[in-house]
Amino acid sequence: MITIYDIAKQAKVSASTVSKALNNHSDISEKTKKRIKELASEMGYLPNSHARSLITKRSYNIGILFMDESNSGLTHAFFANILENIRVTLENKGYDITFISSGFAGQRNASFLEHCKYRGVDGVILACIDFDSQQVLELIHSDIPVVLIDKKIEGKSSVLSENYEGTKQAVHYLIDHGHEKIGFIHGQTNSTGVTEERLRGFYDAMKERNKSIVEEWMMAGSYYEWKPTYQCVKKILTLPYKPTALLLPDDYAALAAYRVIHKMNLKIPEDLSLIGYDGLEFSQILTPRLTTIKQDTKSIGMLAGEKIIRLIEGNDNPEIIYVPSKILEGTSVKTLM
């Protein structure tokens, strides 16, 4: 295994000069740094993580705390895309990832914060979890740098999809296509605030366009669970006064809507227009192709990864970062005009 002493011998400099060059110390010229780094690469040098942590006082390990209410874990299509882009961003910067849980190394009742300290993580990214949990709040308000996804907490960094604007886009799109009777099956109220932002967007957009809201068409489904949405759509379609279009919690829930509409011998969009949320790949192979609000999972993951690194390196302050969404037009919305 190549060591810094082997590089020093080849470069005809001291081992301390090699160490400083590889760790970008300012008292080494850029020319020397470049020469030593190129030589290290040619010789196949791999830094020892333990030695590097002793020098930099960092573990180059980022914690990921992710738990969704449907317990879908890494099969959760929307957050899986975000987590993949976090992983790519962190690995490109030389960081490893540890998934944080409340049990580790035989410690069944350990807290998230204790797990983070045990692993010596430099920072934590939190996504799709119960932000009202005392364990979670303990971690968020500790001295470990954190970045939250889809949740705002004062004094902490967050990366958020524009759920308010995304829902407004969907409503305006439907109205522009002649729809006035619009229902909304939204996700459950949760501690992230996503549902509240989408509801606010829905009400504001309908008000802006002077459209009436029928409370019977406003129902709580669930994110990434098809049964609640199935029951909501079924109930709405048995009402004497029906909407012409429905907004759905997400693209996965849209599958339930497609199923119940088909079972009732109705057609999309002839009998009911639908708009999903997330812009997942499978939504574009449905028949008819689903019109949906596409969230930019690549940017969300990349920005979260870049932000946690800047916080760890002390080059940044907490901030709220919003990521725009856009309409992904399919054929599930009928034009009524």
> In CATH, what number is assigned to the domain containing residue 73?
3.40.50.2300
User: Domain check: are 151 and 194 in the same one?
Assistant: no
User: Domain check: are 219 and 306 in the same one?
Assistant: no
Q: Are strands 123-127 and 157-161 parallel, antiparallel or unpaired?
A: unpaired
The total domain count for the chain is 3
Yes or no: say if 295 and 337 are a contact pair by the CB < 8 Å rule.
Answer: no
**Considering the domain boundaries, does residue 329 fall inside one?**
no
User: Domain check: are 277 and 302 in the same one?
Assistant: no
pLDDT average, residue stretch 136-159: 93
User: Domain check: are 311 and 263 in the same one?
Assistant: no
User: Domain check: are 144 and 20 in the same one?
Assistant: no
pLDDT of residue 291: 98
d(CA 271, CA 240) in angstroms, rounded, equals 14
**Considering the domain boundaries, does residue 330 fall inside one?**
no
Higher pLDDT pick, 101 / 266: 266
Give the burial string for 157-185 (b: 16+ CB within 10 Å, else e): bbbbbbbbbbbbbbbebbbebebeebbbb
Q: Count Cβ atoms within 10 A of the Cβ of residue 24 and give its class: 0-12 exposed, 13-18 middle, 19 or more buried.
A: exposed
**Considering the domain boundaries, does residue 49 fall inside one?**
yes
Yes or no: say if 331 and 267 are a contact pair by the CB < 8 Å rule.
Answer: no
Query: Is the pLDDT confidence value at 5 over 90?
Result: no
Q: Count Cβ atoms within 10 A of the Cβ of residue 268 and give its class: 0-12 exposed, 13-18 middle, 19 or more buried.
A: buried
> For residue 256, what are the domain limits?
163-295
Whole-structure pTM value:
0.81
User: Domain check: are 45 and 74 in the same one?
Assistant: no
Q: CATH code at 52?
A: 1.10.260.40
Q: Count Cβ atoms within 10 A of the Cβ of residue 46 and give its class: 0-12 exposed, 13-18 middle, 19 or more buried.
A: exposed
Higher pLDDT pick, 187 / 57: 187
What distances in angstroms separate CA 280 from CA 130, 158, 223, 293, 312, one per listed residue? 24, 23, 14, 9, 32
User: Domain check: are 257 and 185 in the same one?
Assistant: yes
Q: What percent of the chain has pLDDT over 90?
A: 59
Query: Is the pLDDT confidence value at 279 over 90?
Result: yes
User: Domain check: are 288 and 315 in the same one?
Assistant: no
Yes or no: say if 145 and 123 are a contact pair by the CB < 8 Å rule.
Answer: yes
pLDDT of residue 25: 79
Question: How many H helices and E strands in the chain?
Answer: 12, 12
* Confidence at 129, pLDDT banded by 50, 70, 90: confident
**Considering the domain boundaries, does residue 332 fall inside one?**
no
Terminal CA-CA length for the chain: 72
Mean pLDDT of the chain: 89
**Considering the domain boundaries, does residue 337 fall inside one?**
no
User: Domain check: are 174 and 280 in the same one?
Assistant: yes
Question: 3-class DSSP state for residue 258?
Answer: helix
**Considering the domain boundaries, does residue 68 fall inside one?**
yes
* Confidence at 315, pLDDT banded by 50, 70, 90: confident
pLDDT tens digits, 221-275: 988 888 999 999 999 999 999 999 999 999 999 999 999 999 999 999 999 999 9
Query: Which of 60-64, 223-227, 287-291 shows the lowest per-residue confidence on average (mean pLDDT)?
Result: 223-227
Query: Which of 169-178, 224-233, 268-277, 325-334 shows the lowest per-residue confidence on average (mean pLDDT)?
Result: 224-233
Neighbouring-strand partners of residue 147: 125, 157
Higher pLDDT pick, 206 / 30: 206
User: Domain check: are 73 and 19 in the same one?
Assistant: no
User: Domain check: are 289 and 171 in the same one?
Assistant: yes
**Considering the domain boundaries, does residue 331 fall inside one?**
no
User: Domain check: are 134 and 106 in the same one?
Assistant: yes
